[in-house]
Structures are given as structure tokens and as C-alpha cells.
Structure 1
Amino acid sequence: MSDEEAIAAVTRTLSGLVHGALADVAGAGVDTRPLDELAGGTRDKLVNIYLFQADVSGALRNADRPDLTPGESGGPPFPLVLHYLITPFVRHDPGLDAHRLLARTVRVLHDNPVLQRGELAAFAPDSNVAEQLDRIRITWQPFGEKDIYALWSAFQTPYRMSVAYEVSAVLIDSRRAPTAPVPVLKRGRNDEGPGAQAGLPLGLPALTAAVPPARQPAARPGEQVSLRGHGLSARSAEVRLSHPLLPAQVVVPLAPGALTDGEARFTVGAAGMPAGLWSVGLALTGQVTEGGVSRSVVTVTNEVPLAVAPRITRLPATVPQAADGSAVIELTCAPAPLPGQPVLLVFDGRAVPPDPPGPGTPRPAGSARFTVPHAAKGRHPVRLRVAGVDSLLIDRSGARPSFDPTQSVAVI
């Protein structure tokens, strides 16, 4: 999501892109002040990028936060659509210098229809707008004669050739902490629900589900996962896992005996397997004989989702309550979150963001510090949420599920 610096960050990024396009124009610069203040400036050549209107995106107005899981609620982000007026300004223009400035500006915005995360982070390092999941797009905004007349009349300054652009959507994150209820241990008498399958098997190998061990909702590195399906028999096979933040797939060869017609078992590796939602499929290698000639054929199944959960490796047993009622919890986890993955501490039903990094030595990978406001004294269950997947709070290894006592903190 984005913080309160998001609007200024987008304006600075647009200014940086346009300033780079004017590098070959001697003495040219970029300004963001209102148009009626340009005459008193010191530059003779500049491109003015003026934010003249901010609207709300109707398509995203009531959208839930993307990092919430089913059953949770929180303040939705505020989606803004920013409208910019771009005006080339040349104090003494005997030729067509203003036209050249405008052409360079239009060209660079045409070449960059989407503000890249690297550009946002480089031009606005004090904002986290680069980490919002929705991309920020730049779109040409048609400008009619009535619009020109109304806008420049408000400026009370002589009209200059201008164009308008729309930048959307910039999401301003709510500071209200989302509510995250403690998981339910049992639903109904036998904790069973209806099962249904649409259609009939077509004879082709296909996966129906990726099942973590012990009926858990997610698997952790080092644990075995069962891929259920049909038609999975093959001479050899490999598991192919895809993550949205990794450039390449993670390939896990299946061990002998780990593949049957309806199931494939593999172990989630500790290396190269960050937490989050993965897509997993099978590549099956079989033997085909045609005309007396045998050859190997690789068949790739469909992909099914697999949640990989973080593991809290160090959690304090007790933390003191501060004078203002807050409590500070420092922990480590594995695997370490990737850059851009949202991290939250779910403390007794409340989702708490990590403390921003302070000056000095950066924190080691996989460590985080959380300040929990209004932390009541007593023992509280905690979960670490990375990219929407929680660490495992419930122990299902016994006859009945129970809360893992190691995943709790006592505030004293």
C-alpha cells in the first residue's frame, strides 16, 4: 500500500521522467508550482507539471485491502485519480522552443505508460508507493475548449499551450488496524463439509489440490506436500513451483516411489522458497512408441495453489508493557520475506504493521520489530503474516487440534 507521501511521490516521479527528457535542452527545467506563479521564476525555459484535480476511483472505492484473508475486515485503501496539467513555459520564445519542450514531454510519457516500481523508489525514496500491488498508469486526458476556458480562467493568467494527463490509481492506505479473528478449531460435529466435483475426468493427467500435512492450511519449508489428482502415472516426474515475485520456477524432482496414479508427494525446500501463495504443477515424462521407435514425451498438468507459511524461529516468551500500554515484540522468521512482500503481526486478533527501519545498521534479513498498541497484560496468541499467509498457530498433530503454546507471548 501507499502512505501519505504517495501524491508527492508520484509528482516527483513525473518530474524526474520529464527532467530526463529535457537533458539535451540547455537551461530547461521542471516546475510544479501553480501557473500564475511562473512569471516570477528565474528560469526562462521549463515544463510545468501542475496537479489541478484529484478524484476518487469509482472502480476501487469499496475494494477490500488485498492483504486480507477471508473472515477479516479492515479499512479499505483510498483510491485516488490524479489529474495533471502540463504546460511548456518559455519566457521569450521567438521560435518554437515551447513546442520542442512539449514534444519531449509527450514522448517520455508515451514511452512510460506505467510508473515502474524502480522509478518510484528512485525518485521518491521517502514513500512506499512503489510497494503498492496495483500499478500506477499514465493516461492522456482529452481537454475540450470548455475545460481549457474554465481552468485557465481560474488561474487568472494568459493561456499557454497545455496538455492534460490522468494518473491512477494511487492507493492511500488506511491506518486503522484490520481485525483478524483467531482461527476456529472445529466446524460442526465432525468438522466435515460437502465435497463436489464438476465434470468427469477426461483421461488426461490433472491436479485437483495441493494438500499440506496434518490438514494445515499451508505448508512450511521442510514439510511434505501431497498433490492429489488423476492420471499421474509416469516414468519420472518433477514438481514445478511458480511465485509472482521470483523470475524463474523452482523445480523439485520427485523421489522414486513418490508418484502414483492419484498422488505425488514432495518436500517443500528451505532454499529458494519464500512464504506466500505459489502455483504448483507437475511435469510428467512418459514413453511413447510410434512405428517401432520409442521417444520420451513430457506432459505438463494444470497448476493448483499452494500456500507456503513462514515459520517464527525466535519469539520472546514475555515482553514488558510500556507506560503507554504498548508492547514491543522482536522476532525472527524463516524464510526471510522478499522485498515488496507485506508483513504483519497478528496479535490476538489485531494486525500490526512492523516498525519502520530506523537510522543506522539495517536489521538482518528475517527479523522484524513490532510495537503493539494497547497490549493488555496476559498471554496472547500471535501469528506472522507474510504476503497474506499466516504462520501456523494451530497444532493438528494430535487427536484434537489445539493452539501451539510456543506461538504466544505473555505481556507482563
Structure 2
Amino acid sequence: MSDEDAVAAVTRTLSGLILGALHDISGAGVDTKPLNELAEGTRDKLVNLYLFQADVDGSLRNTDRIDLAAGETGQQPFPLVLHYLITPFVRHDPDLEAHRLLARAIRVLHDNPVLQRGELAAFAPESDVAKQLDRIRISWQPFGEKDIYSLWSAFQTPYRMSVAYEVRPVLVDSRRAVRTPVPVLKRGRADEGPAAQGSLPLELPAVAAAVPARGQQAARLGERVTLRGRGLSAVSAEARLTHPLKPEPVSVPIAPGDLTGTEASFTLDAATPGEFPAGLWSAGLALTTEVPDGAGVRRVVSVTNEVPLAVAPTITQLPAQVAQTGGAAVIDLTYSPPALAGQPVLLIFDGRAIEPDPATARPAGNPRFVVPAAEKGPHLIRLRVAGVDSVLVDRSGGTPEFVPDQSVTVT
């Protein structure tokens, strides 16, 4: 998303684009003055970019944040629509020179209807508006005679030829912390949960679900994963796993004893952690069957549908106790597999989401977290990589329990 410097960053970026369009006009520049101060500048030729109004984008006002996991709550960003007035000003030349400046500004905004992330980062590095997920678009704003009269009358200055644009959406993030509840251990009587039948059986092989070991919500390296479905009988098979940040799918052979008509099981190889980064994967099967072909048989490979498979990070080293310093607790931990470039990493400290300390350069698998206002006592810890949490609940027994080594005591 973006911070409170986003409005100034957008204005600076627009000014930079227009200034680039005026590079071959001697003495021309860009300013952001109110309309009544145009004649007081030091330049004889300029294009003035004036932010005269800011509205709320109603289409985004009540939408949920798209970066929250299920069950989490957080204050939505405030969506702004910025209205700009572009006015050319030439002190001693005829109006035709002002028209030339105006056309340059219109042309560059027409060529750049969407503010690119690279432009926002280059012109306004002090803001992180370039990181907001929604793209910032520029569009022409019709400006009626009544609008012109009202605006220029308010500044009590003679009218000059002007055009208006609107820029949307500019999202201003809330500083309220996201609330991340601890997982529910039991759902309903006897933890039965819901049951539903949504379709009729088909003849084609299909995968219905990817099931991690011991009923967990996500699989870890070194653990078994079972793909359940129908029509999975084959001479041989391999699981094909696709990750959004890996260029090619990962193929895992299915051993003959691990393949039946309804299940195919395989293990996530822990010896090569870089091959299976954490996050949400897509899992399917490539089945090789034999069909009659004249006097012999030939082998045919069919590929099933894909289902989601969450691969969780594993915290390999976590201090049992950390000291409280100035009300804060510093937690250094190691985990596997390390996050790939572009994957967000968060520490879930009870119900609070903490980002890695930006002031400390650390390896990908060994981040440092500074937890403000950390109360003394034990706290449950989870590590979230690309939206998938480390396993906090042990479901191998009859009753779910919290994993004992995923807690930190603040002293």
C-alpha cells in the first residue's frame, strides 16, 4: 500500500513527467502554486500543476483489504481521488506560446495514463506509493463553465486557459495494527466440521484435494502429501507442483506403492529446501496409462486438474526467552525454506503481525523482529511467509494442541 506522503509523491511525479516534456523549451519549468500566485514566480514560462480538490473514491471506500488472510481484520486504506488544474503561464509572450506549453503537458499525460511504479519510485523515493497494489490512473476531467467561474472567482484572479485531470486511486494506509487471531482448535461437536457434495462423479481422472500429513493445514519439507481424487489408476505417475515465483513446475515421481485409484502420495524433499519455497502451490498429477494399439499397446500421458497446496515454513531455531528492553522484545530466529525475493515475511506474535526490522540487514532465512510493547510472559509465535503460517497446532494426537517449541517468554 502507501503512506501519508503519497499525495505529495503523486504531485511530484506528475510534475516530473511534465517537466520532461518541456526539456527543449528554453527557460520553461513546472510549479505547483495557487492560481493567484502565478504572476509572482521567477520564471517567465511555466506549466502550473495545482491540486485544487481531493475526493473519496466511493468504489473502494468499503472494500476489504486484499493483503489480509482469512479471519484477519484491519483498517482499510483511505482511497483518494486527486483533482489537478493545469495552467500554462507565459509572462511576456503571446498566448500562442502558452498554448504550446499546454499541449506538451496534455501530450505527456495522454502517453502516460497509468503512473508506473518505476516513475513513482524515481521521482518520489521518500514515499512507498509505488508499492500500492492498485495502479494509479490519470484521466481527463471535464471542466464546465460553472466550474471555471467558481474556481477562478475564489482566487480573485483573471482567468487563464486551463485543463483539469483526475488521478485515482491514491491509497493512504492506516497505522492501526492488523489483528491476527490464533487458530481455532475445534470446530463444532466432535470437531466434525462441515460436509458438502457439490458435483457428480465423472469418468475423467481428477484431483479433489491436496492433504498434508497429520491433518495439518499446510505441508512442511520432509513430510508426506496425499493427492486425493478419482480415476487415478495408472502405470506410473508424477506430481507436478507449480509455484508463482518459480519459472518451471517441479516434478516429483510417485512410487508404485503410493498410487491407487483414489490417492497418490509423495514427500517434499527436505534435502533441497530451495526447490520447495513456502507459499501457495498448485498441485496436479501426470498419469501414464497403457491403451491398445493394434497388436501392442502405447503409453498415453494425461494431466489432471490442479488443486491448491500450502507449503509452510519451519522455524528451526527460536530463543526460548528474550529480554524486554525499553518495552520492546528483539527476536532472532532461523527458518527453512528461506523466502524468495518478493515474498513478504511476518512474525505473528500472539495476534500481532510484525515486519522484519528494516534497520538490520539479515540473510533471508535469519530475520530479526522488534516487537514493540511486548508484555512479559509467554507468547505464541508463528512465522508467515507469502501468506502461509508455520505450523502452530499439533493435530497428530486425539486432541489438537499448540506446538510447545513455538513460543517465546519475554522476561
Query: TM-score scaled by structure 1?
Result: 0.86
Residue of structure 2 in register with 1:248 after alignment: 247
Residue of structure 1 in register with 2:74 after alignment: 74
Preserved CA contact (<8 Å) 1:252 1:266: no
Give SS of 2:8's match: helix
Which structure 2 residues correspond to residues 159-178 of structure 1 after superposition, within 5 A? 159-178=159-178
Preserved CA contact (<8 Å) 1:250 1:272: no
CA distance in 2, matches of 1:219, 1:18: 52
- Cα pair distance change 1:290/1:398, threshold 3 Å: same
Which structure 2 residues correspond to residues 161-200 of structure 1 after superposition, within 5 A? 161-200=161-200
Q: Could you report, residue by residue, the CA deviation over 1:199-257 in whole angstroms, capped at 9, with x for unpaired residues?
A: 213323333222222211122344333222223445544514142xx373433243443
- Cα pair distance change 1:264/1:30, threshold 3 Å: farther
Q: Could you report, residue by residue, the CA deviation over 1:103-156 in whole angstroms, capped at 9, with x for unpaired residues?
A: 333333333332233332222222222222222222222222222222222233
Residue of structure 2 in register with 1:13 after alignment: 13
Residue of structure 1 in register with 2:311 after alignment: 308
Q: 1:180: Cα distance to partner? A: 1.9
Give SS of 1:271's match: helix
Which structure 2 residues correspond to residues 28-47 of structure 1 after superposition, within 5 A? 28-47=28-47
Preserved CA contact (<8 Å) 2:207 2:228: yes
Preserved CA contact (<8 Å) 2:394 2:400: yes
Q: How many residues align?
A: 406
Q: Could you report, residue by residue, the CA deviation over 1:143-188 in whole angstroms, capped at 9, with x for unpaired residues?
A: 2222222222223333233222222222222211122222222223
Equivalent of 2:352 in 350, 353, 358: 350
- Cα pair distance change 1:89/1:392, threshold 3 Å: farther
Q: Which amino acid aligns with 2:282?
A: S
CA distance in 1, matches of 2:44, 2:286: 64
Q: 1:349: Cα distance to partner? A: 1.9
Task: Answer with 46-55 or 228-237: which moved more.
Answer: 228-237
1:409 aligns to 2:408 (yes or no): yes
Residue of structure 2 in register with 1:4 after alignment: 4
Aligned residues: percent identity?
69
Q: Which amino acid aligns with 1:331?
A: L
Q: 1:411: Cα distance to partner? A: 0.4
Q: Which amino acid aligns with 2:108?
A: V
Q: 1:410: Cα distance to partner? A: 0.7
CA distance in 1, matches of 2:380, 2:100: 63
- Cα pair distance change 1:340/1:15, threshold 3 Å: farther
Which sections of structure 2, spanning at least 5 residues, go unmatched? none
Q: Which amino acid aligns with 2:403?
A: D
Q: Could you report, residue by residue, the CA deviation over 1:8-52 in whole angstroms, capped at 9, with x for unpaired residues?
A: 222222223333333343433332232333322233333322222
Residue of structure 1 in register with 2:322 after alignment: 319
Task: Answer with 134-143 or 296-305: which moved more.
Answer: 296-305
Q: 1:364: Cα distance to partner? A: 2.6
Residue of structure 2 in register with 1:104 after alignment: 104
Which sections of structure 1, spanning at least 5 residues, go unmatched? none
Which structure 2 residues correspond to residues 244-323 of structure 1 after superposition, within 5 A? 246=245, 248-257=247-256, 258-268=258-268, 270-284=273-287, 299-323=302-326
- Cα pair distance change 1:294/1:328, threshold 3 Å: same
Task: Answer with 170-179 or 327-336: which moved more.
Answer: 327-336
Preserved CA contact (<8 Å) 1:67 1:342: no
Larger Rg: 2
Task: Answer with 71-80 or 96-105: which moved more.
Answer: 96-105
- Cα pair distance change 1:221/1:53, threshold 3 Å: farther
Q: 1:404: Cα distance to partner? A: 1.4
Q: Which amino acid aligns with 1:310?
A: P
Preserved CA contact (<8 Å) 1:240 1:249: no
Which structure 2 residues correspond to residues 370-389 of structure 1 after superposition, within 5 A? 370-389=369-388
Preserved CA contact (<8 Å) 2:362 2:368: no
Residue of structure 2 in register with 1:94 after alignment: 94
- Cα pair distance change 1:85/1:310, threshold 3 Å: farther
Give SS of 2:107's match: helix
Which structure 2 residues correspond to residues 78-227 of structure 1 after superposition, within 5 A? 78-94=78-94, 96-227=96-227
Preserved CA contact (<8 Å) 2:254 2:264: no
Task: Answer with 103-112 or 123-132: which moved more.
Answer: 103-112
CA distance in 2, matches of 1:100, 1:293: 79
Preserved CA contact (<8 Å) 1:211 1:227: yes
Give SS of 2:282's match: strand
Q: Which amino acid aligns with 2:250?
A: V
CA distance in 1, matches of 2:276, 2:395: 23
Preserved CA contact (<8 Å) 2:44 2:91: yes
Task: Answer with 179-188 or 91-100: which moved more.
Answer: 91-100
CA distance in 2, matches of 1:34, 1:76: 32
Preserved CA contact (<8 Å) 1:67 1:387: no
Preserved CA contact (<8 Å) 1:131 1:340: no
Q: Which amino acid aligns with 1:50?
A: Y
